[in-house]
Amino acid sequence: MSLDLSKLIVGSAKGSYLNRPRIVLYGPGGVGKTVTACSISEKCKDGGMLDDLLVVSCEPQGLDSLPPLGMDAPCVDFSEVSKVSEWKKLHKLVIAEALERQEAGTLNALIYDGMSTADMMWATSFRATDTSARMYGDLKDMHLWFWSTFDKIKVPVVFTFHARSLEKSIDFGDEEQARVEEMRRKATDLAGSASISLQLEGRQSANVYRGQSALFLPVRVQKKGKELERQLLTMPKFGFEAKTRYGTLLNEIEPANLNTLLKKLKDNKGE
């Protein structure tokens, strides 16, 4: 006897990841994670104030990389928040602001920049009162709570993290595979896995972002002659962990421009 599922099927999930994507960017310091995150703005090409964004900076001087490029963005500074309770309170205010701007049609993306620093503060707070085993559980719960707060946000949300590794920020070429493999071994020692991934306390915390994001992308800088080119890896490569829910719609290496990348996905999906 076959099971009739017709009453349980409420609709198709087609396009759900594309319609409101959650994007994780990570990499070593200096590769341009913040600039890449802000490239999701519709106004990034023209520069100036990217007022279609709302950026939460978890690190001191988090947006300092933008003015030299002729850009700026509305920013909420979380870098001096030292208590989890205060962090949650401010985060709820940001979500309320984002929902208001979303309703008004003036918000194209919400960015949480420097999440490894927030994670470190959360872990330090829990470690002060918990046993080690309980601390990791509380930290994972904090990340799950944080992720759940974006349920009503329909615009893209971008999170940036540092990479847990000893890799340098430049010169990841195929011809340097031996050096890359050495870095991979070092990353294994640090992260307990064969891939360079997020700098987070606790593997389960990293799984929150790895498992639920639509795009989980390393940012790297490649030397092209005398110029430096910022790139996104959409598949595991050069020791980096990467993931996309869009299959073969993207190349293994894409230019580090999220606005262009999302338009490419929508064009390919016919939406």
Domains annotated for the chain, with CATH where assigned, are 18-269 (3.40.50.300)
Determine the average pLDDT of the residues in 63-72: 85
User: Is pLDDT above 80 for 195?
Assistant: no
Tell me the pLDDT of the chain averaged across its residues: 82
pLDDT tens per residue across span 232-264: 999 888 888 899 988 788 999 999 999 999 999
Task: Note the pLDDT tens digit of each residue in 164-181.
Answer: 754 443 344 444 455 555
User: In the prediction, which pLDDT does 237 show?
Assistant: 83
User: What's phi and psi for 206, nearest 5 deg?
Assistant: -60, -35
41-48, Cβ contacts within 8 angstroms, sequence gap of 24 or more: 41/73, 41/108, 41/109, 41/259, 42/108, 42/259, 44/71, 44/257, 44/259, 45/259, 47/71, 48/72
At 202 the pLDDT is 84
pTM: 0.83
Q: Do 99 and 39 form a contact (C-beta atoms < 8 A)? A: no
Better-scored residue on pLDDT, 101 or 229? 101
Question: What does the pLDDT average to over 43-56?
Answer: 91
Give the torsion through C-alpha atoms of 152, 122, 28, 218, to 10 deg.
Answer: -30
